[in-house]
Amino acid sequence: MTAAGDTLLIVFVIAVLAVLSWRDLRARVIPNRIVLPAWTIVLVSQVVLHPGHWDEWLIASGVAAAVFFVPALVYPEGLGMGDVKLVGLIGAALGYAVLNGLLVGTALAGLFAAALLLRYGSGARRVTFPYGPFLAAGAVVVLLV
């Protein structure tokens, strides 16, 4: 039952991340009405599927969100609260592997930023782009690998 439950949860998480990424790309927003219920569903599902590791899911989710919360407060133009909640969801999905997912997502965003700099030169420093799809991609890579 756990293998089937894990598979369903992974499919759910990937679907939610795809929807949130699309919304972030289109409207530059990660909607609370999607991310908050999904975060709750994933946390509860992880605890039900893996009751012996309940602390892992809560710690990974809470710490990841807290780490992103500080920069969102300091520089809200660069990192939004939607990204903070998205990272909480990713932490709930990945557990302690959240660090790997965030590293992959950040590396992907860095590569994209480097490509912008190569194409547009120093003018690209003022270009903004949504961070959520890169975080989501990093999470999907870790979920599937």
Structural domain boundaries of the chain?
2-144
Q: In this structure, are residues 16 and 33 in contact, taking their beta carbons and an 8 Å threshold?
A: no
What pTM did the predictor assign? 0.94
pLDDT in tens, 104-128: 999 999 999 999 999 999 888 888 8
Alpha-carbon gap, residue 124 to 65, rounded angstroms: 28
48: phi then psi, degrees, rounded to nearest 5:
-70, -45
According to the model, what pLDDT value does residue 123 have? 82
The alpha-carbon radius of gyration of the chain (Å, integer) is 15
Nearest to 94 by CA among 4, 17, 18: 17
Q: How far apart are CA 92 and CA 87, in angstroms?
A: 9
